[in-house]
Amino acid sequence: MDKASLQKTLDRIDGKGYKAYKDIRGSYRFVRFELFIDYVQGDPFASPSRMRVRVPQSVAAYPKETYSNSSRRIGLENYLLSAFQSVTRELSAKRGSGKSGLITIDVPAQELLERTAMRVTADFVEASFSIGLPAAGRRVLGRQAATMLCQDLPRIVETALLYKNNQADLITQYTAVSEDATALRNQLDELGLVAFIGNGAVLPRKSGVDQRPLQGNGVVKWQSPPELEVIIELPNAGTVKGTGIPKGVTLIVGGGFHGKSTLLNALEHGIYNHKPQDGRELVVINETAVKIRAEDGRRVAGVDISPFINNLPFGQDTTHFTSDNASGSTSQAANILEAVALNSQLLLIDEDTAATNFMIRDQRMQALVAKEKEPITPFIDRVRSLYEDAGVSTILVIGGSGDYFVVADHVIGMDSYHPADRTADAQRIAEAFSSQRLREKGRPFTQLNPRIPLPRSINPRKGKRDTNIKTRDVETISFGVQTIDLSAVSQLVDSSQTRAIADAIWYAQQNYMDGKRPLSEIVELVMRDIENRGLRVINGRSHTDYAAFRKFELAAAINRLRTLEIKK
C-alpha cells in the first residue's frame, strides 16, 4: 500500500468509532520512506499508537564514518533521537480527546545509550515513535489524522532524518565524544586504572532530579592533582590529561559539602558515555563497577554472605542466607557478594549510604563485644582481601573513620571541589596515631557457593493474565503480583532500561533457568543473545521502547524479586 491508500482509509473512517483506526494497521510506501503502523490504540485515552519510519540510506545519506563502529553509531542515533523530538515538539498539537495529536519518541537524557527507538545501519535509518491518533470524544478524526501522517510525518522525516538537513557539526560532536569515551574506558585496564576524570570536567549536576551540568560562575572544573595525572591519546580529542585512579583501594576524603559524593556520583555514572557539553564526557570508569549501599528491608535469597557474616544466633546458615527483611549490614554484604559473583572488578561505596556496623568496629567496641559474639567481620578488614585475593578494587567515600587510612593505597582529598593527593598525609597520620583495633578474618571470597534460581519462583502471572509485566518510572517493576523495588540500584538511569530489564527477567526464565544453571551464567547468556541479536530478542514486539542495560542491573532486579528461590 502507499500514501494514497492511507489517505483514502482515513477519509473512509472519519467520524466512526475509535476502533475503526485498527483498519490502518500495516505498511505504506511514501516517496522517501516507508511507514509501518505496528500497533493502534483502542481508545484515545489509552497508550498511544506505535509506528516506525524507515528511510533507505540512499535517501538518508549518512556518511559511513558516522556509524563505522558501535560507539559512533550510538552517538549518531542519540543525536537523531534528539533531532526527531525537537521537530515533533514544534509540530505536535492538541487534536481532540485524550492523547490526540501527540507525537513522541524515546529521547535520551545525558547518557548515550543504545535504544530500539532509533536504528542506523548501512541499509537504512529507522525511527520508532508513539502517536496519539486524533479523536473527538471516541470518534475518529480521520482528516486530522491524515494531516499528521501524510503531511506532518514527511516533514519530520525530511527535517530530522536526512543527513543533508541535519547539523553536521553536532553529529561530529556526538560521534566523537562517544567513540572517545569508549576508547578511554578500554584503555583503563592496561594502564592499571579503574577510573579517569578528565581535566576541565564539570561534575556537579543541576539537582538530584536534573542530571544536566550545573552552570554558573561558581562551578569548579576538575583539575587533576599532579601526582595522579595521566596522559591518554584518544581517536578524536587527541592528547587528554586527567586524574587516573589506580587499581586497589582508594579513599575519597574531605569535609562535608566539599564534593566527595559528587565525585563518586560522577564515577558511578562513568559506566556510560555522555552527550556533548555534559561536562562528564571524559569521566569514565571500569565497565564492571557496581555502586554498593545498605538496603534495609531488602529481600535476600540464598546468598553466601559468610565472608562477612558468620555465627548468627540460632545457627542461621550464612552460606545460603535468606531473609524477607534484611538489615543494613546483611543487605550490604549481599549486595557486595552478588556483584563479586558476577565478576565485578570495582565497588563504589559512600559511607553516607552504608551500614555503620558493617563498615567498621573500632577498638573500644572490640573490647566491649568479643569477636565470638559479633557475627559481622567489618568491611575495613576485608577490603584488602577483596583486592589481593579476588582482584576487586574499591573506591570509598569516607569522612568519619581514619582507620581506613591503614588499608588504603591512595587517598584523594576534596577541598571546595578541588582534588588533592593526600596519600602521604594519610599514611603519616596512620603511623602517628596507630590504632589498637584488631584485624578480623573472614571466609575467602574465592569459595562462594553458586546461586541456582528455581524457575518456578519466577512467575509473572496475575489473575487471569498469564503474563503481567509492567514498569513505573526507573525504579519499579510490577512482575505478576510482586513489585520489584530498584530504588537502591542507582546506576539505572532510564525508564527504557527498566522496561527492558523487566522483559529480560521473563526471557531468562523461559530460555535459561533450568534449575541447574547459576544466576551468573544465566545473565551472561541473556547478554550474549542481546549482543548477537539486538535488544528486541527479549521480546519481539516492535512497539516497545528499550535501552541497553548491564548484567549487573538485570541480576539486581532478579535478586529483588520477593518470590525468588535459590536451590540449596
pLDDT band at 542 (very low <50, low <70, confident <90, very high): low
pLDDT score for 96: 53
State the pLDDT confidence band at 59, using cuts at 50, 70 and 90: very high
Average confidence score pLDDT of the chain: 93
End-to-end CA distance of the chain: 58
- Per-residue pLDDT tens over the stretch 218-250: 899 999 999 999 999 999 999 999 999 999 999
**76 to each of 55, 80, 373, how far by Cα in Å?**
15, 6, 59
Contacts of 110 by beta carbon, 8 Å cutoff, 6+ apart: 211, 212, 274, 275, 278, 280
CB 305, CB 333: distance < 8 Å? yes
Q: Which of 519, 517, 546 is nearest to 530 (CA)?
A: 546
How far apart CA 102 and CA 74 sit, in angstroms, is 26
At 235 the pLDDT is 98
Measured distance CA(251)–CA(123) in Å, rounded:
49
Cα 236 from Cα 97, distance rounded (Å): 49
pLDDT computed for residue 443 by the predictor: 80
User: Could you tell me which of 394, 430, 90 has the C-alpha nearest to residue 251?
Assistant: 394
Fold of 188-449: Rossmann fold (3.40.50)
Residue 97 banded pLDDT, cuts 50, 70, 90: low
Q: Which residue has the cell 564514518?
A: 65
Confidence of residue 264 (pLDDT cuts 50, 70, 90): very high
Task: Quickly count: other Cβ atoms within 10 Å of residue 169's Cβ.
Answer: 8
- % residues pLDDT > 70 (the chain): 98
pLDDT surpassing 80 at residue 540: no
Confidence of residue 371 (pLDDT cuts 50, 70, 90): confident
Rounded to an integer, the average pLDDT of 107-126 is 97
Length of the chain, in residues: 568
Pairing of strands 49-56, 26-29: unpaired
Q: What are phi and psi of 238, to 5 degrees?
A: 75, -135
β-pair type (49-56, 103-105): unpaired
Q: Residues 6 or more apart from 356 whose CB is under 8 A from it?
A: none
Q: What is the pairing mode between strands 469-472 and 476-479?
A: antiparallel
The single residue listed with the C-alpha cell 577490603 is 383
Specify the DSSP element, H or E, that contains 252: strand 249-254
User: Does position 446 have pLDDT exceeding 80, yes or no?
Assistant: no
Burial class (CB in 10 A: 0-12, 13-18, 19+), 458: buried
Q: How far apart are CA 280 and CA 553, in angstroms?
A: 22
Residue position matching grid coordinates 551500614: 355
Q: Beta strands 410-415 and 205-207: pairing type?
A: unpaired
pLDDT over 90 (residue 313): no
More confident: 189 or 137: 189
Residue-wise pLDDT tens digits, 140-177: 999 999 999 999 999 999 999 999 999 999 999 999 99
Q: Are 286 and 343 in contact (CB under 8 A)?
A: no
Among candidate residues 553, 560, 557, 559, the one with its CA nearest the CA of residue 269: 553
Locate the domains of the chain by residue range: 3-166, 188-449, 452-567
The two most distant CA atoms of the chain are separated, in Å, by 88
pLDDT tens readout for residues 398-444: 988 888 999 999 999 999 999 999 999 999 998 988 777 777 777 88
DSSP letters for 538-552: G---TT---B---HH
| Nearest C-alpha neighbor of 468 from the set 477, 116, 492, 510 | 477
Say what the pLDDT of residue 435 is.
76
Reported confidence tier of residue 373, pLDDT bands at 50, 70, 90: confident
Instruction: Report, as an integer, the average pLDDT of 39-66.
Output: 94
Rounded mean pLDDT, 339-352? 97
Quick one: which of 565, 558, 566 has its CA closest to 484? Answer: 558
Q: How confident is the model at residue 543 (pLDDT cuts 50, 70, 90)?
A: confident
Report DSSP state, residue 425.
Answer: H
Average pLDDT value for residue range 114-122 = 97
Query: Grid coordinates standing for 96?
Result: 481532540
pLDDT at 129 over 70: yes
For residues 78 and 170, give the distance between their C-alpha atoms in angstroms, rounded to a whole number: 11
pLDDT score of 49: 94
SS3 content of the chain, % helix, strand, coil (to 5): 40, 25, 40
d(CA 518, CA 495): 27
> Among 93-102, 104-113, 294-303, which stretch is predicted with the lowest mean pLDDT?
93-102
Smallest CA-to-CA distance from 178 within 272, 62, 71, 70 is with 71
CB 74 within 8 A of CB 178: yes
Q: Please state the φ and ψ torsions of residue 416, each to the nearest 5 degrees.
A: 55, 45
pLDDT for the residue numbered 162? 98
Percentage above 90 pLDDT, the chain: 82
Strands 346-350 and 393-397: parallel
Q: How confident is the model at residue 496 (pLDDT cuts 50, 70, 90)?
A: very high
93 pLDDT band, cuts 50/70/90, is low
CA distance 269 to 111: 9
Which residues share a beta bridge with 484?
477
Q: Rounded to whole angstroms, what are the CA distances from 439 to 246, 371, 404, 444, 464?
A: 25, 10, 12, 15, 56
CA distance to 337, 347, 489, 551, per residue, from 290 (Å): 11, 5, 9, 11
> Among the residues of 148-272, which ranges form H helices?
153-156, 168-187, 260-268
Q: Identify which of 290, 293, 284, 196 has the alpha carbon closest to the alpha carbon of residue 244.
A: 196
Q: Is 436 or 286 the better-scoring residue by pLDDT?
A: 286
**pLDDT of 383 higher than 80:** yes
Beta strands 229-234 and 300-303 are unpaired
Q: CA-CA distance, 352 to 387, in Å (whole number)?
A: 23
Whether the per-residue pLDDT at 533 is higher than 80: the answer is yes
What local confidence, expressed as pLDDT, does residue 100 receive?
66
Helix (H, G, I), strand (E, B) or coil at 434: coil
